[in-house]
Chains A and B, each alone.
Chain A
Amino acid sequence: MFRYFIKLGSLSIRKNPVLSALMVAAIAIGIGACMTVVNVYYVMNGDPIPAKSSELFYVQLDSWDPNEAVNDDGEPPDQVTYIDATALMAANRARRQVVSYQVGRVIQPEGEGARPFQVSGRASTADFFTMFDVPFQYGSGWDESADRSADQVVVLGRRTNDRVFGGEDSTGRRLVINGDSYRVVGVMDEWNPVPKFYDLTTGDFNDVEEVFMPFSVAIDKELSGWGNTNCWKPLGEGGWQAFLNSECVWMQMWVELGNEAEWAEYKAFLDAYTESQKALGRFQRPLNNSLLNVTEHLEAQEVVDDSVQILLVLAVLFLLVCLLNTIGLLLAKVMRRSGDVSLRRALGASRRAVFGQYITEAGMIGLAGGIIGIGLTRLGLTGIHVLYADLEWIDRVLGMDWVMVLTAVALAILSALAAALYPTWRAVRIHPASQLKSL
């Protein structure tokens, strides 16, 4: 029976080419606009590290000003102080832990005519690479002993390695960075999590840094952060030491915990630490520590722009308009072919058969509209690329994967079916004899 419906459907579509084309176009445009925005939203809202996102937790402590909250949302500051980061690291109460912050570095390649160039770097403790499953092209990260003895080692990004060492295995070789010599221990492979979840403070979708150095080395060299440094309390005298001992928040800390029990334990530890600091006169605000996993953290930091959300609302309404259009067109088609329906009913077709046929036809139109809609979505994404061409990372949120393609088709078919319900109901209600009289 279904195959008969398909045959009838395609006959009907061919007999009304203009009307059918308009219907397909209406659905395609609606799907195109809607899916363009949905696609961007989907990528921005995606899980950048699905294998581990529920095991990685961002540490946030409310060490802020007792007289004024750090923001209006009642959340603790989005970074931690040097004192707290180092104290928590020393306590070592999680499976793995990492503290890091962004730094600016200038690489001075050797050789004739080689000009120094600037890169963004990250000062980090050793576990960064294992915690975040960073892929390596050559070598690996450094280990804890390098952290402790502040070895001048460095991990390069693939692009920098290509530029300085021609893409060869540079592990063991030395490189001059800001006047000092560092030994390369590893070269990362292409890695750009979307969004850049481990540090959202300077740009949710920025490139991963090109140079990684041990945290202790950066502190020794008095490298201040390249990201945001927020202080509520005036610094005392004493330059760098005073800055390290201050209440300024400028680094990011993540811990890896295996299960609920470990999470509860670590949270309790954080709270106990805060209490002990209160006794020393710090943490004068009410207890407000945060230990969110990756997806929760992305949401709390509002990675998906308001602009995208607004567009999503408008795009869904746009689809609604296109659907209303489609209903009108389908209705017109049904009314035009009412003679056809009543003839078939008079010849013995059941109501269900009429219903089935029109729904199938709508489904076919939906499928066609969905397929064209995919093309229009691609066009829409290209349009966004052109609009935002100045934004280096825009291409990262414009990829269309098979989930989105299937969603587009499914949405198109479902919309077409929904749009067809009313016209089909009208068709079903046509009396067998009513239209035969005028024949």
Chain B
Amino acid sequence: MEIGPIWRAMWRNKSGYILIALQIAVTLAIMVNAVAIIQERSGLMARASGIDEDNIFHATSLVFAPDLDQRSLINEDLAALREIPGVIDAIATNSVPMRNGGWSMGLQVEPGVGVDGTGTAIYFTDDHGIETFGLNLVAGRDFRPEEITWNEPDEVRWPPSVIITRALAEALFPDESFEDVVGKTVYINQDDPMQVLGIVDRMQAPWVGWESVERSALVPMLRESSITRYVVRTQPGMLNELMPVVEELLATRSDNRIIDGLRTMADTRKRAYLDHASMIKMLSFIVTLLITITALGIVGLASFSVTRRTRQIGTRRALGATRPEILRYFVLENLIVSICGTTLGAGIAIGLNIWMVSAFDLAPMSWPIVPVAMLALIGVGLLATAGPARRASLVPPAVATRAV
């Protein structure tokens, strides 16, 4: 291992090597942070919403005629929807997960002003809610038809029962296991009691970036609102077929409203995470481009190094050095530059990450990214050197004797 001579030879003409080392360092810093962000966002996108997304779509009914009997309209709409062959169930509600708009309230474990509340998303539903959303009831029971209340548009009189998600149960009663939360009373609007009838495994709130995104409550209430969101769940595979059927049915059932925003949950998810998905693509593109540019830089430096030392290589070969030894020389040279560069880069990467975490509220990166990225970049460097190193090894010994 002739590291000493290699190092000293490099040091005599250090500028080119320092430049490549710096390039590798900055490339690593960008790579590590980009990968950290990609990881974080992919993780967020991979979260399940808790509902049967593949088979659910929703549409908004907007009533524009004044003084319409909303209650009958909604009741008849639901009856008609539930009768369609292929529809598992349907409800009239205010929002769906990942929609980016909805209703949130605070729930308290004790009544009164000034008590700390836990933020939760509110979904109005009836006794078909769990079936329509495809939720998993893990404790307690579903609503009974007689427990569903109706509300005027301006009034909100909270019913005495509620079904909550497991995350909400654990947030409200951290010292109990979630099954024991069934039967307990929570308070909404500071003073209005609601008894927890059941707990579902998981249902996300409409806002994917919200810290309380896993905390939702199903409230047994139908509202006489001019804006109603119908959610329909179909048998697997029948979604595309049934969407136009449902739209047609609702549109023709009444002339006093328009049907808008007919959308699948898949589309809703895509819109909710559009920023994340695009960011991932852009960062991946930047990282790929960056590695290519740095690799080309390494190829350039290695070629240059080989060209400059052609005479020296020839001489060494004439004196007995074998082809593999020449190859090894240049590979080692590149390895030294890469290791120096990536080590410096690791320092910059960690520093940059610390700053970005505080400036942009990112999650701190998982440290294994750094050594993996270093190895990857060193590997890229070796690949880049392969060509020029091989060219060096092919320099014939006769070069040493030439005058030119």
Residues of A within 8 A of B (CB): 22, 26, 29, 33, 67, 104, 106, 108, 115-118, 178-180, 222, 234-235, 239-240, 242-243, 305-307, 309-311, 313-315, 317-318, 320-322, 324-325, 327-329, 331-332, 383-384, 387-388, 390-391, 422, 426
Contact = CB atoms under 8 A, between A and B. Distances in A.
A318 B30 contact: yes
A33 B286 contact: yes
Contact of A325 (B258, B271, B297, B360): B297
A388 B66 contact: no
Contacts of A22: 296, 300
B310 to A, nearest CB: 14
A321 B114 contact: no
Contacts of B26: 317, 320-321, 324
Contacts, number: 118
Given A318-B290, A328-B301, A422-B15, 12 more contacts: A22-B300, A33-B286, A178-B65, A239-B152, A305-B275, A315-B286, A322-B293, A328-B297, A329-B300, A331-B19, A388-B278, A391-B274
A306 B209 CA distance: 13
Contacts of A106: 62, 64, 258
B294 A387 contact: no
Nearest to A37: B282
A178 B66 contact: yes
B180 interface: no
Interface string B113-138: 11000000000000000000000000
B64 A325 contact: no
A318 B258 contact: no
Main secondary structure of the interface of B (DSSP, over half): helix
A314 B189 CA distance: 45
B30 A178 contact: no
Contact of A426 (B15, B152, B275, B279): B15
Given A33-B286, A307-B275, A307-B279, A314 B34 contact: yes
Contacts of B289: 29, 33, 318
Contacts of B281: 387
Contacts of A26: 293
Contact of B16 (A180, A332, A391): A332
Interface in B175-214: 189-192
A204 to B, nearest CB: 13
B381 to A, nearest CB: 14
Contacts of B23: 321, 324-325, 328
Contact of B356 (A67, A117, A313, A322): A313
Contacts of B395: none
Contacts of A327: 19
A127 to B, nearest CB: 29
Residue of A222, A234, A305 ringed by the most chain B CB atoms within 10 A:
A234
B350 interface: no
A222 B153 CA distance: 11
A89 to B, nearest CB: 24
Interface string B62-80: 1011100000000000000
A314 B286 contact: yes
Main secondary structure of the interface of A (DSSP, over half): helix
A237 B151 CA distance: 13
A117 B283 CA distance: 40
Interface in B230-286: 258, 260, 270-271, 274-275, 278-279, 281-283, 285-286
Nearest to A322: B293
Residue of B22, B34, B278, B289 ringed by the most chain A CB atoms within 10 A:
B278
B282 A311 contact: yes
A67 B64 contact: no
A239 B155 CA distance: 5
A29 B292 CA distance: 12
B66 A331 contact: no
5 pairs of A and B residues whose beta carbons are closest in the complex: A239-B154, A106-B64, A234-B189, A387-B278, A324-B23
B360 A118 contact: no
B271 to A, nearest CB: 6
B210 to A, nearest CB: 13
Nearest to B278: A387
9 contacts: A234-B189, A239-B152, A242-B154, A314-B33, A321-B26, A321-B290, A327-B19, A387-B278, A388-B278
B29 interface: yes
Nearest to A177: B64
Contact of B62 (A33, A104, A240, A387): A104
B221 interface: no
Contacts of A180: 66
B342 interface: no
Contacts of A422: 15
Contact of B65 (A179, A324, A328, A391): A179
A67 B19 contact: no
B329 to A, nearest CB: 20
A116 B64 contact: yes
A419 B38 CA distance: 31
Interface in B47-99: 62, 64-66
Contacts of B20: 328
B154 A243 contact: yes
Nearest to B361: A306
A390 B15 CA distance: 48
A343 B296 CA distance: 32
A283 to B, nearest CB: 16
Interface string B17-40: 001101100110110011001000
Contacts of B154: 222, 239-240, 242-243
